[in-house]
Structure 1
């Protein structure tokens, strides 16, 4: 069994760095060896949950601008899995959760930035799943719950997003995280480790500095999906670090 995870994908240039978080991602990839990856990406927003059902190799999506030219030359030739996509759809249907299949969309950096570090050989099938930032946290959690059987088949369910994600407050010269970001993550980590779902569902009104840390919810939604997939097992904090003062690199195993 491979336990679901939530991992922050960071800025696109994460793939050019060499730090403790990169080392963790590499080690995870070496040790996990999943049969496939089902990844909920913060960079794909749809009203109805949509599942990539790509036959063959994904096209690359460079959904960012202003970064070094070498980032736009990166290729990660992972293949899709229409069979697994159909299975995901059926599991959601069993729980009366509506979903669609998408046969053409490429792979965004919320997906390839993590997977190219974890599984550089690109030899593991990947199914991307969209999020809806306007859906309730409870609903996003229930989507994860519906996919619990996949873990028993050694399929990695991965939420790719971030906790603190305030692009307006980034500081390229920062050498340590700002206090309000640390306080917010302290609260999130505590509630996740306690499996306190109710408080987490209402983090916007309960967590310190929530509006500053999460001005828009698309990047935190994959956390709830991954948590829903994990059941009652005590979550494990895999990593915590920061970039640009307010960019969290956080990892949980559920």
Structure 2
């Protein structure tokens, strides 16, 4: 059977509570996966795995990590037991070495919720191998974009490549007890600007993140926006898959790059 080319994705993974209360994002992720050929494997860059240099999970079956506190007990009982793929991990490491991108194997890292929360809605059977890769904290936006370009070749092997972060992410502004509260202008205008630039293939305007409108209000730290730069590198043709807000200012956008 001929392998099909899959897109690159940016997914706003949101609160861990979305595993129990999917809001709008859960059904959107389900629709997205149902409209794609089933991946042979999935690669996810996680905003919750920052490292000094790029790391690739080589674990055979990583543990499900509940990397949060103070949530209902039912959330801690959730497992996402998808296997890893040491063989694919070695292929990724070789690909990176060919491109002079330093990277290290990590066989002990558990799977954080930026990986398993969206995949729980997309592929609940957990029957597809999943490789988690880290977010190098010192990498520039352009370096992450280039990393996405290097990894894009894997899409041709029917491998789904995902950057998992959040289009807006300022936890201090969230209305935790009201998931449907109104969205502040600084959040809506920020994501509108980013989408507009991506729709017009102005990647440089997005990679120049320091000059994005309301950047400090939306991203007091950059780790949840940075996976977008990686996803952008995986494909040139942008499409908006989903747009919503949760708890006021938490953007739940999903972007596709072909």
Note whether the superposition's TM-score is higher than 0.5: yes
Give yes or no for contact 2:26–2:118 (8 Å, CA) kept in 1: no
Give yes or no for contact 1:163–1:250 (8 Å, CA) kept in 2: yes
**2:112 equivalent to 1:108:** yes
Which residue matches 2:92?
Answer: 88
Gaps of 5+ in 1: none
Question: What is the CA–CA distance in structure 2 between the aligned matches of 1:31 and 1:229, rounded to whole Å?
Answer: 19
Deviation per residue, 1:44-67 (Å, 9 max, x gap) = 010110000012x22111111111
Gaps of 5+ in 2: none
Give yes or no for contact 1:133–1:221 (8 Å, CA) kept in 2: no
TM-score after normalising by structure 1: 0.96
SS in 2 for 1:152: helix
Among 42, 48, 53, the residue aligned to 1:48: 53
Which residue matches 1:215?
Answer: 220
**2:251 equivalent to 1:251:** no
SS in 2 for 1:218: coil
Match runs of 1:28-39 below 5 Å: 28-32=32-36, 33-39=38-44
Question: What is the CA–CA distance in structure 2 between the aligned matches of 1:239 and 1:31, rounded to whole Å?
Answer: 14
**2:17 equivalent to 1:17:** no
Question: What is the CA–CA distance in structure 2 between the aligned matches of 1:134 and 1:44, rounded to whole Å?
Answer: 13
Deviation per residue, 1:162-181 (Å, 9 max, x gap) = 02100011113352211110
1:199 CA displacement: 1.0
1:6 CA displacement: 0.4
Which residue matches 2:163?
Answer: 159
Which residue matches 2:12?
Answer: 8
Aligned length: 250
Deviation per residue, 1:217-249 (Å, 9 max, x gap) = 11111111111011x3x2000011001111110
**2:241 equivalent to 1:235:** no
Give yes or no for contact 2:240–2:256 (8 Å, CA) kept in 1: yes
Q: Which moved more, 1:19-28 or 1:178-187?
A: 19-28
1:189 CA displacement: 0.6
Give yes or no for contact 2:137–2:223 (8 Å, CA) kept in 1: yes
Cα RMSD (Å): 1.1
TM-score after normalising by structure 2: 0.94
Question: What is the CA–CA distance in structure 1 between the aligned matches of 2:168 and 2:41, rounded to whole Å?
Answer: 28
Give yes or no for contact 2:175–2:181 (8 Å, CA) kept in 1: no
Give yes or no for contact 1:36–1:154 (8 Å, CA) kept in 2: yes
SS in 1 for 2:148: helix
Which residue matches 1:224?
Answer: 229
